[in-house]
């Protein structure tokens, strides 16, 4: 079942005299691209009659906005043990396992988070477009948000760009860090002749990472990391840049099979406003067992 997202409201005095487009732009902060989709079908209904964006609204008018249903036809539903942390009609928050890619990719079209979530929705008799908001590397574990409609995705993307959506990670890095906290402000660019690897470069995109030491061990350090920007491999590149690459990071450090077989990085906390209700939300997820072993010094 393809699900539409329906918003119903009664216009108040502040809306009186505005057009539908004014209300959608100012009150809903809806993008022009999404507004254009509402022109199809019964996207805009006022007092039980189909209307257009230039319709002038009066106090007491009953407005129904319907975002069309969509479906990710290119993603094959396939069972995956997805750890659901929270779900409502607009968002899904999951605790992603390490080793699971976020998207289907060359060599893996069926065993990704996308396949697992599409299977989960299919079993509920529902269908949505797969829209991850914050993306994690294959071997990074932890919290991710999936938007279930275009409006929710747009609102959360805006929160990310305006630094309202806050992402906090736990990481273990090589070496004993001297400073208790710090900020790394170093632009990141794609490394020449490679699709995957990134590097610090003066002509790269601005990238800012804040960190705080949580615990020091004999040869490594546990830190909390907060992203101000969200560049590909940002934490991994920045920690290498200051001489403390992540434990287990084969691309930016070295393989550490004695410690971990993946980079020691976990999306620990997400803080944001619900995309529709604007209620403050906070989710936390403890580090998985492989990182707990590091913490225990095993």
Positions annotated as catalytic residues are 137
Report long-range pairs for 156-159 (Cβ below 8 Å, ≥24 apart): 156/91, 156/272, 156/275, 157/133, 158/29, 159/272, 159/273, 159/275
User: Distance between CA atoms of 63 and 49, rounded to whole angstroms?
Assistant: 9
User: Distance between CA atoms of 144 and 103, rounded to whole angstroms?
Assistant: 13
User: Distance between CA atoms of 269 and 170, rounded to whole angstroms?
Assistant: 9
Instruction: Report the relative pairing of strands 44-46 and 166-174 from DSSP bridges.
Output: unpaired
How many other CB atoms are found less than 10 A from the CB of residue 298?
Answer: 8
Q: Which of 170, 181, 171, 173 is nearest to 268 (CA)?
A: 170
Task: Give yes or no for a contact between 266 and 292, defined as CB atoms under 8 angstroms apart.
Answer: no
Q: Which of 155, 150, 160, 163 is nearest to 27 (CA)?
A: 155
Instruction: Report the relative pairing of strands 166-174 and 181-185 from DSSP bridges.
Output: unpaired
């Amino acid at each position: 079942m393809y699900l539409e997202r329906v918003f119903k409201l009664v216009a108040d005095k502040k809306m009186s005299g505005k057009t539908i487009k004014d209300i959608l732009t100012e009150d809903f902060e809806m993008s022009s691209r999404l507004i254009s989709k509402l022109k199809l079908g019964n996207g805009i209904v006022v007092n039980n009659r189909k209307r257009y964006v230039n319709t002038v609204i009066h106090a007491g008018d009953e407005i129904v906005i319907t975002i069309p249903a969509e479906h990710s036809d290119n993603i094959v539903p396939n069972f995956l043990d997805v750890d659901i942390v929270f779900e409502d009609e607009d968002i899904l928050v999951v605790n992603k396992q390490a080793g699971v890619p976020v998207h289907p990719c060359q060599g893996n079209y069926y065993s990704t988070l996308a396949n697992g979530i599409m299977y989960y929705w299919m079993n509920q008799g529902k269908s949505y477009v797969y829209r991850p908001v914050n993306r994690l590397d294959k071997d990074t574990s932890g919290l991710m948000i999936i938007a279930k409609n275009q409006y929710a995705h747009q609102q959360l993307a805006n929160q990310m760009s305006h630094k309202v959506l806050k992402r906090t990670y736990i990481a273990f890095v090589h070496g004993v860090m001297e400073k208790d906290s710090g900020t790394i402000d170093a632009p990141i660019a794609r490394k020449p002749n490679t699709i995957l690897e990134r590097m610090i470069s003066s002509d790269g995109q601005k990238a800012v990472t804040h960190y705080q030491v949580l615990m020091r061990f004999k040869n490594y350090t546990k830190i909390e990391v907060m992203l101000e920007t969200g560049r590909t491999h940002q934490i991994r590149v920045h920690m290498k840049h200051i001489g403390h690459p992540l434990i287990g990071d084969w691309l930016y450090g070295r393989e550490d099979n004695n410690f971990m077989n993946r980079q020691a990085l976990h999306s620990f906390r997400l803080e944001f406003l619900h995309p529709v209700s604007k209620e403050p939300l906070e989710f936390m997820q403890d580090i998985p067992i492989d990182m707990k072993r590091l913490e225990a010094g095993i």
